[in-house]
Amino acid sequence: MKLTQSLSRMQQTALKWRSEGIKIALVPTMGFLHEGHLSLMRHARRSVGRKGKVITSIYVNPTQFGPGEDYGRYPRDIRADKTRCREMGVDMLFLPDNASMYPSSSSGLPYSCFVKEKRLTSGMEGASRPTHFEGVTTVVAKLFLITQPHYSVFGAKDFQQARVIEKMTSDLNFPIQIIIAPTLREADGLAMSSRNKYLSKPERLQAPALWNAIQSARDSVKNANNGFIPVNQLRKKLIKQITQSADMEVDYIEFFDSETLVPVKKVSTTARMAVAARLGAVRLIDNASLDPASPY
């Protein structure tokens, strides 16, 4: 496995691979890698085959964190991350820093160019974290230009983010195929996340309440008259379920079309559910299709 912190070296290496007809797949991460991340690397390898190249980037991107969020304490373990990437057969580990990703100009002007998606970012995480997606789209666009991938893999756990990246890729004509891989879960249903490290033992026991609410929503829709339930009715039921089973403060529960992210008025198995809640100092998110047969 090769490793670089240099943007120019990474870009030159990727352009050389492309000139040789080698397929490239990128897995962008913020590190503190867990099995969910490793599954994305497996998808990346399948997309390019044995002769292709898999790049994993590790960069805790400051522009996607809002004021008072956990940028400074976001979990980091670069030594363990290097070991996991090597074991997964990653060809290049890219480790940029803030000074290279957001440099001032030669005249001293601060970095000032950002990418903004205006439609899919208006609700859910975009409403709760107003500056978040601008940071995400900007850093991913930069990573695409630096690593020159044919494919890039994102997890369905951050489903809105994945759809936003798909939209950006399409609208800005990046010649990249976006792959959305299924969410990996712990045995009790909790979606794997680097932030799960923050949970105390009592909180960890309560954390599956979000997945349990999704399961409950699936059951409710399955058993509903005519296959539909009014949104407000189901949302009220699930908020009560979550807050009675866990010491959580629900941020939002949304039901929406999986392709457009447009909210639905009546919930059926064709809809997707997303939920965010705070458990102590930890903010948890989860989502899934309300069709149990969906791959994600």
Cβ within 8 Å of residue 80, ≥6 positions away: 33
Pairing of strands 282-289, 271-279: antiparallel
Give the residue carrying structure tokens 């390898």: 45
**43 included as an active-site residue:** no
Q: Which of 34, 37, 43, 150 is catalytic?
A: 37
Rounded-to-integer distance, Cα 6 and Cα 15, Å? 14
Long-range Cβ pairs for the range 14-21 (8 Å, 24+) = 14/55, 14/146, 14/147, 14/148, 14/149, 15/148, 17/53, 17/148, 18/148
Rounded-to-integer distance, Cα 78 and Cα 62, Å? 17
Beta pairing partners, 2? 92
Residues annotated catalytic, as ranges: 37
